[in-house]
Amino acid sequence: MTYIFDVFTGARRGTTLTGSVQYRDPDNYGFSQGPVFGLQLIMDAWKEGGDFGAGPVSAATEAEFNELFELYLGPTVRVDEEGYLLEEGSTQVRIPRVKAKEFYQGQLDPHGGRGFSDGTHYICLAPRWGDFARRAEEIIVSWEIREDDSTDLDEDEGTSADFTLEVSDPRYLDHFTKNTYFQTAFTGHLPS
């Protein structure tokens, strides 16, 4: 994976998180002004885990973050080598036997996402970016990002911006217990 940003945050203050993002590559996408980028940063910090300073979240918040990742990336469905659906938590083919492409007709990832993980094959269903954007607007109630126009930046350091976000519920920031650093490939842009 190619990381696009280095992200630095302070510890949360209630429902507010502040930090900065710095481009790792000067050929960039621009700093996204919408709430999607804020939600992606919160999710990616949770996904990266505690090695960089993030703390745990509740089981309910973890389930919601997993659901948000499925909306953004598309859920995966476990199948055998021939594409038949597997029983939940098993490597046995579901009875009655049905191929995933028939069962999920019209819902498959148009880019043909498939792979192998944890000993089983899987296929990807289509992402639901519109639903993800709506959820971002519900969770991120305020998002501001301001590009640093300082001429003191070293050209090799790239461009940076400071951000402040506010969430609708403090539990979305539970994992920001102290200053954190992580890298992300998220840009705040949703495919069309």
pLDDT tens sequence across 84-124: 999 988 899 999 999 999 999 989 887 778 888 888 999 99
**What 8-state DSSP symbol labels residue 11?**
-
Res 48: pLDDT: 80
Measured from the Cβ of residue 147, the count of other Cβ atoms closer than 10 Å reads: 12
Q: Which comes out higher in pLDDT, residue 150 or 173?
A: 173
Res 55: pLDDT: 67
pLDDT of 166 > 60? The answer is yes
Q: What predicted TM-score, i.e. pTM, was given to this entire model?
A: 0.82
Note the Cα 6 to chain centre separation in Å: 15
Residues in Cβ contact with 19 at an 8 Å cutoff, skipping those fewer than 6 apart: 7, 8, 9, 10, 41, 162, 163, 180
Orientation of helix 59-73 relative to helix 129-139, angle to 10°: 140
Structure confidence at residue 155 as a pLDDT band (50, 70, 90): low
Tokens 């696009």 correspond to 4
pLDDT tens sequence across 40-94: 999 999 988 755 556 688 999 999 999 999 999 999 999 999 999 999 888 999 9
pLDDT of 151 > 60? The answer is no
Q: What percent of the chain has pLDDT over 90?
A: 58
Res 189: pLDDT: 85
- 3-class state of residue 63 by DSSP: helix
Average pLDDT on 120-139 reads 94
Tokens 């980028």 correspond to 37
pLDDT tens sequence across 4-14: 899 999 999 99
Q: What percent of the chain has pLDDT over 70?
A: 88
Average pLDDT on 147-174 reads 81
Peptide bond into 35 cis (omega under 30): no
Measured from the Cβ of residue 134, the count of other Cβ atoms closer than 10 Å reads: 12
